[in-house]
Structure formats: structure tokens, C-alpha cells
Structure 1
Amino acid sequence: MKKIEFGSVHRKKHFDFFNGMNHPHFNITANIEITAFVKYVKASELPLTFSLVYLLSKTANDIPEFRWRIRNGSIIEHESVHPSFTVPTDEADVFSFCTVDHAEKASDFIKRAQKVKEDMKKNPSMEDEPGRDDFLFMSAIPWISFTGIQHAMSYHPHDSVPRISWGRFFGQSGATLMPLSVQAHHALVDGWHMGQFFQTFEEMAKNPSAYLQ
């Protein structure tokens, strides 16, 4: 972990402007083509959700600003951030958080995720580890091909953890599309970085064999 110091006066003003807002998060939703991803996952008999979470997590980790967090007015950069995503439970008809350490290799991540998921099904959790902010909050809404989403979160004080959600896949002109929503703290992540996220993820989804090993 390291502390971020802005070398640009304008960038510092940008940070201060958005960090002073009551609701500094912004959200973008777009349909992403995942035709090749779905075909590859099925042909390789890989778990779809864990494969998807891995690619989304890798995308975020590849963009430094998605690893930035605000602590006591300062910015720190984590070496890596870890997906905390929703999974069904055996206890009730509501979800549990399933936090899995990010891994460079997809196969390592999937093994970890399978173990943690089984634990969470019987011992569901709604709490994050106190003092940690190296998360990526993720959730699936598989019943709806949504066009927008609003997340529940505390505003006073607000956190700086990105939220990533995806919805029901749908077909269009012979392609498979997936609604993808990404929410981030605007003092840390600007439109340019958000665009990088969507472009990077879509590129990975078009070439899944290069990443899901």
C-alpha cells in the first residue's frame, strides 16, 4: 500500500471538489458483448459466475484508480483489491457476501471462490472485516436486464469502494449482451477511468482464452 500525492494542482482541486459532496459516487450502466466469453466458459466447463467475477476483478486491479481509497482525507493505493460478491444461502431467500482474495491466475481464484461459497451457504455473512477497504462490492441481478441501478450505501460518512453489478444476459442481432453497472467515487475515478474499465473488460470478454487459464 502507498500514499498518493497529486503533482497537479488541477487534479487536487478535482479531488477536493467531488470529495466535498454529500453523494460523490457516480454510476454508469452499459450493455457489454459477452458472446465469446459465454461460449468459452461453456465449452471449458468453467463456473460462469466465478469466471465473470474474476474478469471484473482483474479489470479493476489493472486500473490504479480503482485501487485507490480515501482514508482520513488522504488517498492510499492498495496493491490489489478483492471482490466481495453476493451468493445465495441455505439459510434464507436473501444473499450472503462472499469475499475472495484476488489472484493473478483465474484457476487459483476459482478454486478459492468455490471453497468460500460453500462456507457462506451454511454460515452466511453480511459484515465486512472492520478497518478494511480493499474490497470491490459486486452483485448479480440475474432476473433483470436492467438499464440502471441504485445501490444502498451510507452517505455520512461515505466510503470509496466501487460497486459493480451485472444483470440478465440477452440476445441481440446474434450476439449475447450483458448489462454492466459500475459505480465509483468521483474524487478518485473520473469518466476517463470509467471508460477504461468498460473497454478493458469488453476486450477481455472478447478474448477469454487469454485470461481464463
Structure 2
Amino acid sequence: MKGYRISVLRHGMTEANEKGIYIGSTDLPLSDKGAADLAAKMDEFDYPTVHRVYSSPLKRCIETAEILFPYTELCPVDDLRELNFGDFENKSIDELAKRADYNQWLRGGKESRPPNGESLEELTARTYKALHAVIMDMMESGLTHCAMITHGGIISNMLSCFGIPKYPPTQITAEAGGGFDIIVTTQMWLNSQAFEILGYCPYDRIPDEEY
């Protein structure tokens, strides 16, 4: 049975990421360092050759896709955007640490949401919607390997909720410009809404053999 492979990658760093500031729906570009770090990763590791890139519509993801896959068709997917942190947006952990509503949110479950923000339950619902749309598009188009550029929270949520084997979100975090390869078959997805987690992406570069 045909398998459909997706390289799920986190965007490069922004200035807010570097300063430890919450950004979800805020549409920031990559920082100069973030863009340079992605270029350095391309020199150090092998990124796959893919048929299409599905991306969050936010600038930091679009710019990451243009750096890592400059000659590949790019398709923005609105539901791949990061969690909306509401009143916690653009604030650092140090700023929020003494706020009761922040600590309540950290202790809360899937239904807990930041003030004026989005809950984990809502995030999971649209993550499923985005993933389903991507997988269906790949199947209909006959594309066997594509990339997905999205956000750290989306990746951890996606893999912990729909991936096999099962991992807690804290064990499947993606670094900037990095992520995981997953593979899904039509039967797996339509019957179980699940995919298999294969391993890390990008790949270690195999040194040329010396003769």
C-alpha cells in the first residue's frame, strides 16, 4: 500500500523567540540570526527533496519555506498557524510568572485557554483539519513526499495526538529548522486518523567516502 511521507518542520527563529516572548498569532518575520541559522543548517544537514510545501500563513513560516525549499511549490494552510495566546501574546515568561491567570492556564487541561486566546482543544481540532486537508491533497495529487512548515506548538500537538508510537508532547519538541518525518497510508488515516512517526528531519549528512 502506498505511503505518503511528510517532513514536518518548525520555522526559524524570530527576535521574540530569541528573547523568550510568547508569539502565536503575532505575524513576525525571521530575525537575521534566524535566517542565517537556517542557511547554516542547510550546509550541515540534508533536507529532503519534496513535491510541495504546505506552510502556516505567518511570515516566519513562509520565509522559512523560501529558504529551505526555494524552488518548490508553496501552499499556505491557514489552520497550520500557531496557538493564539490572547492576552499573553508578546509577553515574556518573566512578565507573566506572577499572574494568577497565567499560572492557572499552565495548570489547566485541554479546555483551558489564555484570556482572549485559544484552548489546546481548539488547537487540536484545527490541527486535525489542517492535517486532513494536506493528506487528502497529497493523495488526490499523487504526491508521495511533501514538507510542512509550521510552529513548535502545532508540531508537538500533532505528533502527540495523531502519531504512532505515542509520545507526550514534551518528548517530541522541534528545534528551529528541524522536526520529524511522518508517513501515513490511506487506510491508517481514514480508519484511525493516525500516522507513523519515522524519525528526525533534516538528516545527518553522510560524508563522502575517501578513496
| Fold-level similarity (TM above 0.5) | no
Q: Which has the higher helix share?
A: 2
Q: Which has the higher strand share?
A: 1
Please report the TM-score for the alignment, with normalisation by the length of structure 2: 0.31
